[in-house]
Amino acid sequence: MGMSTPITIFDTTLRDGTQGEGISLTAEDKVKIALKLDALGVQYIEGGNPGSNGKDIEFFRRIREMNLRAKLTAFGSTRRKNSRCEQDINLKHLTESGAQAATLVGKTWDFHVHTALQTTLEENLAMILESLAFVRSRGMEALFDAEHFFDGYKANPEYALAALRKAKEAGASWIVLCDTNGGTLPEEIRDIVSKVVAEIDAPIGIHTHNDCELAVANSLAAVAAGARQVQGTINGYGERCGNANLCSVIPNLQLKMGYRAVSDEQLKMLTSVARYVSEIANAHMPVGQPYVGNAAFAHKGGIHVSAIMKDSKTYEHIEPELVGNKQRVLVSELSGQSNILSKAQELGLDVNAEQARSREVIERIKELEHQGYQFEGADASLELLLRDAYGDTQDIFTVESFKMMVEKTAAGLVSEAIVKLTVGGQQAYTVSEGNGPVNALDNALRKALVQFYPDINRIHLTDYKVRVLDEKDATAAKVRVLMESTDFKDTWSTVGVSSNVIEASWEALIDSIRYALLGMVKKDAAPEDQPREELGLVNL
């Protein structure tokens, strides 16, 4: 165990993370993420290569004004072969970036020196020594990223260690061992890091890639062997298969190994930071991502749920709240009464005297899931179903009818929807166009309701998925529509199923609007002394 030994966290989401396929961040995006990382408590934030593109130059210019607690770090490489540091344009940009620290990557594998750099082993050592010394002479902290170190050590340990000694001689504050190709195993990492720590009297860091799904394990193995800095990215973004995922590294270090990486309060921000970065990067976050994923503490099997209701330690390795996540009980065709009771209690419904009702609800859910509904991904539809079953909803509006027309004109396809509703005894009849049938229905429904509930304009559809349930029926197949909506404070999901995609979409749409309006009605009914802005639009 680490006995609260501090471990330095070096975040390279904004540099190595952006090299991942499909990850592209503007300078504004990078500033927003840097501020979140700073609040999380990482000690170094690597912002990019200030010599490589205008976006990174703008980021360094803007972030300098933000007074980060973390050390802003610029990335570059050792000088070109057979040249002088003063004439190296990339080193010039790096030292003029305004960053407090610089990470220089250099070769430690003799094969790379000969093949990639096409220079001598001696010249490469001079490049390492002179470049790090140059950065330090400009008043910056210098870190050395020993590229391909583990492959280099296995091929020629004497030369790999000689490269590290040059970095130490130049005054590098950290010597970071990189598993650049991601092909090393944890036991090899532990063995080699132990030897380096014994040989090199300097602070050692670790930088791993995930090509064998071992980046986190390799990082932890290196720390156990004496490394005191871990480099990685939020959500494991990075080139090829990604980098070490700091969202797993940090809690593993802190909660499992007894090291200290961030404060306990900062650790509680981990889930929100992970989801924020994924949102800004427009990258799907795996539902089963450890610690911070939506399903990390989700329970579905009836036996599991029955046990966690007695004591959550029965099926949870940590308290979800330690990393800012929460326990979820999923309701599906596998559900037992425990799942329903747990979910209903979570919603504040009185279920104690309603055991027969609970059994009916379970059977109803199982029947609906047999028809193709799926409530795991449709929390709002499930809540409405439970509230309806336990008598906790009201008919905010009634749909009398809707009509849909699609017309092909010279200008293209035009979709028009007519919706007839009754709201509080008053009839509303509206017509609206849209850029598709579902959009037209959405517009018509809102148009009918906005005169009664003006806040409905704050609700937006954020995702719409259609899944064919029985492909063999071709165009007559039953489909499931999952719809995600937001009011920019909360997000909720609804489901609809039909052999008609319009009807399935309508079901999901009606549930989404009902759910939002239920929250508005409950908010309006709240005591006057409760600040309205704290109540939120949706009663989640």
The full set of domain ranges for the chain reads: 8-262, 298-389, 398-451
Give residue 290's pLDDT.
96
**In sequence order, what are the beta bridge partners of 421?**
399, 428
Angstrom distances, CA of residue 63 to CA of 74, 99, 322: 12, 9, 30
Helix, strand, or coil (residue 409): strand
Give residue 139's pLDDT.
97
Least confident segment among 111-115, 173-177, 406-410: 406-410
Angstrom distances, CA of residue 116 to CA of 52, 162, 196, 506: 20, 19, 25, 59
Are 537 and 489 contacting, i.e. CB atoms less than 8 angstroms apart?
yes
Q: DSSP E strands: which ranges in 229-383?
A: 229-232, 298-299, 328-329
Q: 346-405, pLDDT tens digit by residue?
A: 777 766 655 677 778 777 877 887 788 877 667 888 888 888 887 777 778 999 999 989
pLDDT at 34 over 80: yes
Are 502 and 464 contacting, i.e. CB atoms less than 8 angstroms apart?
no
Are 201 and 225 contacting, i.e. CB atoms less than 8 angstroms apart?
no
Give residue 287's pLDDT.
82
**In sequence order, what are the beta bridge partners of 414?**
407
pLDDT at 146 over 50: yes
Per the model's pLDDT, the better-predicted residue between 24 and 279 turns out to be 24
Give residue 463's pLDDT.
80
Percent of the chain with pLDDT over 70: 88
Q: 478-523, pLDDT tens digit by residue?
A: 898 988 888 766 778 899 999 999 999 999 999 999 999 887 765 5
Q: Specify the residue for token string 């080193």.
A: 91
Give residue 2's pLDDT.
54
Average pLDDT over residues 110-131: 96
Angstrom distances, CA of residue 82 to CA of 125, 146, 416: 12, 20, 70
The counts of H helices and E strands in the chain are: 18, 16
* Rounded Cα distance, 399 and 438, in Å: 16
pLDDT at 531 over 60: no
Give residue 526's pLDDT.
41
Percent of the chain with pLDDT over 90: 59
At 351, which amino acid appears?
V
pLDDT at 330 over 70: no
pLDDT band at 280 (very low <50, low <70, confident <90, very high): confident
Question: Across the chain, which distance is largest between two alpha carbons, in Å?
Answer: 88
Cβ-proximal residues to 28 (8 Å cutoff; 6+ apart), any chain: none
> In terms of CATH architecture, what is 398-451?
2-Layer Sandwich (3.30)
Q: 433-446, pLDDT tens digit by residue?
A: 988 888 899 999 99
Structure tokens that stand for 353 in this block = 């005297």
pLDDT at 59 over 90: yes
Are 182 and 214 contacting, i.e. CB atoms less than 8 angstroms apart?
yes
Least confident segment among 31-45, 171-185, 239-253, 384-398: 384-398
Are 437 and 502 contacting, i.e. CB atoms less than 8 angstroms apart?
yes
* Homologous superfamily assigned to 8-262: Aldolase class I (3.20.20.70)
Q: Judge if pTM exceeds 0.85.
A: no
pLDDT at 534 over 70: no
Q: What is the mean pLDDT of the chain?
A: 87
Cβ atoms within 10 Å, residue 224: 17
Helix, strand, or coil (residue 255): helix
Least confident segment among 14-18, 162-166, 325-329: 325-329
Average pLDDT over residues 427-432: 92
pLDDT band at 291 (very low <50, low <70, confident <90, very high): very high
Give residue 540's pLDDT.
22
Give residue 353's pLDDT.
53
pLDDT band at 536 (very low <50, low <70, confident <90, very high): very low
pLDDT band at 338 (very low <50, low <70, confident <90, very high): low
